[in-house]
Amino acid sequence: MDPQTMSGQTLHPQVLTAIIAGVVSAIGAVLALLGARWQLRGKMLELDLKKAELEKTGARLEAEAEALRQTIMRDVLVERMAAYAALWQVFITYERNWLYEHKIFDEKWASDFLHAVNSCNADHGVFFSQAVYRPFFEYRRRLLELVAKVKDGNPISNADINNLMEISTIGTTELKSMAGAMKDELGSYMRVAIQTT
């Protein structure tokens, strides 16, 4: 049977060429589609690998950022503890111990105390938390009033000292004492340290 005949009919060479071209074109399209799918699958796998790599890098960066934050917090805590110890030393020296040692509360005491408070603030104030700085600011305001009072020739009374101690160790209904704020703050760090270990 002649290739140009089919069921006894003769195919025109142009029709035969068109059919062959169509079959070749269809095979080419199928192969192109399969190639495109294979490339797409390869790109999808590549994207999945990059996504996993990004997630891994993100997790590593988060861990590094957390480690850096912890290091900074540790360093701040060390400085804050030193600042609170220095502040407490000033208050204990010029307030409680002065009282217990029956020393005279006079203009020199008030000026020296104010100078010590301001020096401590200059050296360590940057590490005071807001919870500590609020009573510190109020304490210093009251001490400034006391210095002005004594410079005007008025004596310092027990009520004046109690007015200072109210802020340093007792507290008011509106304001926690400095001692309480410092202890709470340092205690909260201890709780965090215990929880993270």
Residue 146 CA to residue 161 CA, distance in Å, equals: 9
Q: Output the pLDDT for position 197.
A: 47
Instruction: Identify the residue whose tokens are 């000292």.
Output: 161
Q: Output the pLDDT for position 188.
A: 63
Residues present in the chain in total:
197
Please calculate the CA angle 80-81-85 and round it to the nearest 5 degrees.
Answer: 115
Residue 78 CA to residue 29 CA, distance in Å, equals: 72
Q: Output the pLDDT for position 6.
A: 52
pTM: 0.65
| DSSP code per residue over 171-189 | --SSS--HHHHHHHHHHHH
pLDDT digits (tens, 9 = 90+) for 140-182: 999 999 999 999 999 999 999 999 999 999 999 999 999 999 9
Instruction: Identify the residue whose tokens are 């600011």.
Output: 137
Nearest-10 Cα torsion for 95, 100, 103, 107: 20
Residue-range domain boundaries for the chain: 68-196
The one-digit pLDDT tens for each residue of the chain (197 residues) are: 455 555 556 777 888 888 888 888 888 888 888 888 888 898 899 899 999 999 999 999 999 999 888 888 888 889 999 999 999 999 999 999 999 999 999 999 999 999 999 999 999 999 999 999 999 999 999 999 999 999 999 999 999 999 999 999 999 999 999 999 999 888 765 555 444 44
Q: Output the pLDDT for position 21.
A: 85
